[in-house]
Amino acid sequence: MGERDVDAATAVSALRLRYAGEGDSDAGDRREHDVDAAMAVNATSTFGVVVVGGGVVGVSVAYALAREGVEVVLLERGRLAGEASFGNAGTVSAGHPPLNKPGRVAQGVRQLSDPTSPLYVKPRWDPELWRWLTRFATYCTDAHVKSAMEVLAPMGMDSLRAFEDLVGREGIDCGYHADGYYAVCETGDGLADAVDEAELIRRFGYKPEVLDARAMGEVEPALAPVAGGVFYPEAATLCPYDFTVGLAEAAARHGAVLREGVEVTDVLVGGGAASGVRLSDGDEVGADAVVLATGPFSLAIADRLGAAIPVQPGKGYHRDIPISEAGASDLRIACVLHEASVFCTPMSDFVRFAGTMEFSGLNHEMRPDRLAQIARAAGRFFPALGSAPPISEWCGLRPVSVDGLPIVGPLPHVPNVVVATGHGMLGLTLGPVSGDIVADWVLRDGPVELYRRLGPDRFGG
């Protein structure tokens, strides 16, 4: 790293983070952290690294760098953890295979005409999406699943260690439970499919356990009779918003500067290297390196630097149902309803039901039929689920990469710009490890060989 403007960095790091509403009974405030980013990053500010994007990935990057003493500023155009990192299902699903797998395309085609299925593709003229889907299909092979698992499996193990470490060392209060989760199957076919997936995961060092119908009923009495399930002991659950903001607070304690409401429009480049970023108000922020952790957004910035990042927004939804007689049962377990791909995660005093994968572009339009898909599946698996109104209904956009692997590494033509996106359904799980991988790129010669496979150079360009 080059010289840094220590005074400027120190001045702007007077950011304060507060946790508001602890013990508050109001549902809206309960998960509200108040971030006061009053200090300005002005045109003369210079940092070691600018991180663009304050989701779980950008925050993890800022944390990893700040912990190593780098003067880092994180610029978020909205609020920290305001997008997918806010309302996801909160499962740390280590060892989970990629979305691409043999049979996925045929399954997808069948699901398109089924309103009860988790998949929805909005019928519309979107050549980029159809090109992406065609390319996605080319990765649905056994060979690709194997090579993806060679990376995802050790990444998952690293991720479990990272969560234990972070939550413990930084005292992040996010309802972290390392109790595993269950894939619960309604039908024999569903169970056969879940067992196949478990066998794959087992081959890569994890220890899933298959349960028959009776055992599954004993584990979770609130369940309707089911065909069986698979227990993933290595998984953990937490509140994703509390985790991300807690990690941001920890990054700030280590000296990171966090700014909300600051939009980056471009990376400043000269002679094949970045020297900072331009903001939407025309100001510039200098840096020795730039990290683009913008989720499915702002990918045009990388495109202008000669790297087309093959990511599509995959919309998912949640419904948070209060735990009460008229609402959700106080579930003993976290689980995914396998056939419906709906996650059920107990969080403090509510159960989060989350799922669906909707390809309809970059928008936050809530489609009632998608929320209904989640509600229907939840009601089928949990017959005692009452009609209490949800305390939150929400949608967020996953950054879904074309090959089911995160895209983390330097841009081929501007190597001091590192991209970290494309985590799809695993962004919470793989966020902290991605932060460490980015730190290896920025501060050292790059990560271990296996993680170098995640670079955007794998797509050419």
Q: Does 152 bind ligand FAD (CB under 6 A)?
A: no
Q: Specify the residue, 60 or 416, whose C-beta has the smaller distance to ligand FAD.
A: 60
Q: Does 78 bind ligand FAD (CB under 6 A)?
A: yes
SS3 442: helix
Question: 278 is written with which tokens?
Answer: 């331009």
Q: Does 266 bind ligand FAD (CB under 6 A)?
A: no
Cα–Cα distance, 415 to 407 (Å, whole number): 14
Task: Return the beta strands (E) in 293-416 as ranges.
Answer: 311-322, 335-337, 342-347, 350-359, 392-401, 407-410
Q: Does 83 bind ligand FAD (CB under 6 A)?
A: yes
Closest CA to 314 of 365, 367, 359: 359
In this chain, which of 48, 208, 390, 399 binds ligand FAD, going by CB under 6 A? Answer: 399
Cα–Cα distance, 1 to 141 (Å, whole number): 41
> Which span sits near ligand FAD by CB under 6 A: 32-40, 55-63, 161-169, 283-291?
55-63
Q: How far is the CB of 104 from ligand FAD (least distance, A)?
A: 18
Q: How far is the CB of 305 from ligand FAD (least distance, A)?
A: 14
Question: 358 is written with which tokens?
Answer: 């909707």
In this chain, which of 64, 145, 258, 264 binds ligand FAD, going by CB under 6 A? Answer: 264
Q: Does 329 bind ligand FAD (CB under 6 A)?
A: no
Q: Does 75 bind ligand FAD (CB under 6 A)?
A: yes
Q: Does 373 bind ligand FAD (CB under 6 A)?
A: no
Q: How far is the CB of 323 from ligand FAD (least distance, A)?
A: 19
Q: Does 90 bind ligand FAD (CB under 6 A)?
A: yes
Q: Does 318 bind ligand FAD (CB under 6 A)?
A: yes
Q: Specify the residue, 75 or 198, whose C-beta has the smaller distance to ligand FAD.
A: 75
23 and 229 Cβ atoms separated by less than 8 Å = no
Cα–Cα distance, 281 to 285 (Å, whole number): 11
Q: Does 437 bind ligand FAD (CB under 6 A)?
A: no
Cα–Cα distance, 12 to 262 (Å, whole number): 14
Q: Estimate to the nearest angstrom the gap between the alpha carbon of 151 and the chain centroid.
A: 17
Q: Does 426 bind ligand FAD (CB under 6 A)?
A: yes
The amino acid that residue 323 corresponds to is I
Q: How far is the CB of 285 from ligand FAD (least distance, A)?
A: 11
Q: Does 159 bind ligand FAD (CB under 6 A)?
A: no
Q: Considering Cα of 407, then 413, then 415, then 416, what sign does the dihedral take? A: negative
Q: Specify the residue, 228 or 396, whose C-beta has the smaller distance to ligand FAD.
A: 396
Closest CA to 424 of 408, 440, 441, 436: 408
Q: How far is the CB of 253 from ligand FAD (least distance, A)?
A: 20
Q: Does 57 bind ligand FAD (CB under 6 A)?
A: yes
Binding-site string for ligand FAD from residue 110 to residue 149, where x marks contact by CB under 6 A and - marks none: ----------------------------------------
* Cα–Cα distance list, 4 to 1, 49, 56, 68 (Å): 8, 10, 26, 15
Q: Specify the residue, 78 or 412, whose C-beta has the smaller distance to ligand FAD.
A: 78
Q: How far is the CB of 408 from ligand FAD (least distance, A)?
A: 10
Rg (CA), the chain: 21
> Which span sits near ligand FAD by CB under 6 A: 29-37, 71-79, 181-189, 304-312?
71-79
Q: Which of residues 293-312 bind ligand FAD (CB under 6 A)?
A: 293-295, 297-298
Binding-site string for ligand FAD from residue 233 to residue 252, where x marks contact by CB under 6 A and - marks none: --------------------
Number of residues that bind ligand FAD (CB under 6 A): 43
Residues paired with residue 52 on neighbouring β-strands, in sequence order: 75, 292
Does residue 429 come out as left (phi exceeding 0), alpha (psi in the -120 to 50 range) or beta?
Answer: alpha
Q: Which residues contact 316 (CB under 8 A, 6 or more apart)?
A: 84, 88, 354, 355, 356, 357, 358, 395, 396, 397, 398
**Burial class of residue 48 (count of CB atoms within 10 Å of its CB; 0-12, 13-18, 19+):** buried
In the complex, the residues that contact ligand FAD under the rule CB under 6 A are 52-58, 75-78, 82-85, 88-91, 93, 263-264, 293-295, 297-298, 316-318, 343, 354, 396, 398-399, 421, 423-429
